[in-house]
Amino acid sequence: MNTGHITPAIVVNHVALHFVTPEAEIGSEVFIDHATQTLAQLPESIRSAIAQFHQEPHVSGALLIKGLPIGQLPETPPTPTTPTSKDHTSELTLLAVAKALGEPVGYKPELGGRLIQNLVPTQANQDRQVSTSSKVPLMFHIEAAFHPHRPAYLLLLCLKGDANAVTTLASIREVLPHLSDDVKKTLFEPRFRTAVDESYLNGRTNVLGELMPVLSGDTERPTMVFDADLMVGIDDEAQAALMALSRAVEAHHTGVCLETGDLLIVDNAVAVHGRSQYNPRFDGTDRWLQRTFVVDNLQASAPDREGRVIMTVFGEALESHSPRAD
Ligand SMILES: O=C(O)CCC(=O)C(=O)O
Ligand SMILES: [Fe+2]
């Protein structure tokens, strides 16, 4: 999609790759070790593009790798957890690239902590702000803004595309020069709070998280934590700065219509992402992505982690001893 804005760096794989998939379970260390070795089968041009992005993210905050192996595909499942008969080529592809960037992890509330998550449109979630929606645009967000162990990278591998579904992206590198000095100054101050994504609450009550800045680090090349749906400024000035950022993101975003074999890597500290609305058919031919999250290292989340699954609980339990009217 040509919006005149900075688009992701793109590399194309032209080599026919045939991965041997291990018998091991997808999240197991045996499978992950196998994925690490599989990386060596990718052409040098692809491996060096990933290594370069890892060292210094592209100004867009995203790298698009085209032409990766995804294996044989059955019908798109009706929900992310419906078992499918697919082979494990795409999982190997995703985890191979994930291991080149850091450590793949799952989050317990996100489909039970699965390392690889199917993203498919569901009938139940058509209108909601969740990855399984379709009839509404998914607002700009970084992944898990409220989470102390939020991912460093988000990887989206397209198994089946939809010509109308555009993954939207906006980089703080492109947006920053369009913000006034006052807005920038405010965004660097801890005057913002982020609510918890619904999918993490499991019946508990939402609470706003700790005070945090939206922008951090180098004033010319900051990192960003932003969620257009879940974040609020704690005073009028902070709220106005957040709105100014939101407008700048809208005005300077680009989009990628993911196609079969495309792997989009998003640096979660540089770019926000979202998705356009589209019309699924719910007939087995719908859009199907697989997603994995990558953290820089496993040490930081150790107290909250079981294996590769980050367990942090959010929200407040509902009062169990509320007075009864009897
Ligand atoms: O469906 C997409 O293109 C993006 C979905 C999304 O925001 C996500 O998976 O985190
Ligand atoms: Fe997302």
Banded model confidence at residue 325, pLDDT cuts 50, 70, 90: very low
Report d(CA 141, CA 181) in Å as an integer: 23
The reported pLDDT for the residue numbered 326 is 44
Write out pLDDT tens, residues 256-283.
999 999 999 999 999 999 999 999 999 9
Banded model confidence at residue 304, pLDDT cuts 50, 70, 90: very high
CATH number of the domain that 31 lies in?
3.60.130.10
Contact 9, 19 (CB under 8 A): no
Report d(CA 244, CA 241) in Å as an integer: 5
Whether residue 52 is contained in a domain is answered as yes
Q: Which atom of ligand 1 is nearest to the CA of 166?
A: 3
How many angstroms is it from 274 CA to the middle of ligand 2? 6
Contact 152, 271 (CB under 8 A): no
- CA 255 to chain CA centroid, Å, is 15
Phi, psi of 167 (to 5 degrees): -80, 120
Whether residue 74 is contained in a domain is answered as yes
Range of the domain at 280: 9-166+258-310
Report d(CA 49, CA 66) in Å as an integer: 12
The reported pLDDT for the residue numbered 234 is 98
Whether residue 93 is contained in a domain is answered as yes
Terminus-to-terminus CA distance in the chain, angstroms? 62
Whether residue 75 is contained in a domain is answered as yes
Q: Residue 14 above 80 pLDDT?
A: yes
Contact 103, 153 (CB under 8 A): no
Helix, strand, coil % over all residues of the chain, rounded to 5: 25, 20, 55
Report d(CA 54, CA 271) in Å as an integer: 14
The reported pLDDT for the residue numbered 1 is 52
List the single range of 1-5, 7-11, 193-197 with lowest mean pLDDT: 1-5
Q: Residue 134 above 70 pLDDT?
A: yes
Q: Residue 319 above 90 pLDDT?
A: no
Whether residue 31 is contained in a domain is answered as yes
The reported pLDDT for the residue numbered 288 is 98
Q: Residue 324 above 50 pLDDT?
A: no
SS (H, E, C) 119-151: ECCCCCCCCCCCCCCCCCCEEEECCCCCCCCCC
Give me the amino acid identity at 180: S
Q: Residue 146 above 60 pLDDT?
A: yes
The reported pLDDT for the residue numbered 202 is 85
Write out pLDDT tens, residues 25-38.
998 999 999 999 99
The dihedral formed by the CA atoms of 122, 125, 127 and 128, expressed in degrees to the nearest 10: -140
Q: Which atom of ligand 1 is nearest to the CA of 291?
A: 9
Ligand 1 pocket at CB < 6 A: 119, 131, 138, 143, 154, 156, 167, 273, 275, 289, 291
How many angstroms is it from 129 CA to the middle of ligand 2? 10
How many angstroms is it from 303 CA to the middle of ligand 2? 25
Indicate which residue's Cα is closest to atom 7 of ligand 1. Answer: 274
Q: Residue 16 above 70 pLDDT?
A: yes
Indicate which residue's Cα is closest to atom 6 of ligand 1. Answer: 131
Ligand 1, from 167, 254, 258: best to mutate by most atoms within 8 Å of Cβ?
A: 167
Q: Residue 40 above 90 pLDDT?
A: yes
How many angstroms is it from 319 CA to the middle of ligand 2? 31
Q: Residue 318 above 80 pLDDT?
A: no
Residue 178: HSE in the Cβ half-sphere, 13 Å Cα cutoff: 17
Number of domains in the chain: 1
Whether residue 177 is contained in a domain is answered as no
The reported pLDDT for the residue numbered 22 is 93
Indicate which residue's Cα is closest to atom 9 of ligand 1. Answer: 131
Write out pLDDT tens, residues 49-105.
999 999 999 999 999 999 999 999 999 999 999 999 999 999 999 999 999 999 999
Instruction: Check if the interface score ipTM surpasses 0.85.
Output: yes
Rounded mean pLDDT, 161-171:
98
Residues 73-92: b if buried by 16+ CB within 10 A, e if exposed? beebbbebeeeeebebbbbb
Q: What is the mean pLDDT of the chain?
A: 95
Whether residue 156 is contained in a domain is answered as yes
Positions at the binding site: 141, 143, 167, 273, 287, 291
Indicate which residue's Cα is closest to atom 3 of ligand 1. Answer: 167
For strands 254-256 and 117-119, give the pairing: unpaired
Query: What are the beta bridge partners of residue 9?
Result: 63
Percent of the chain at pLDDT above 70? 97
How many angstroms is it from 167 CA to the middle of ligand 1? 7
The reported pLDDT for the residue numbered 199 is 84
* Alpha helix segments (H runs only) across the chain: 29-38, 44-55, 89-101, 172-175, 181-187, 236-251
Report d(CA 119, CA 133) in Å as an integer: 9
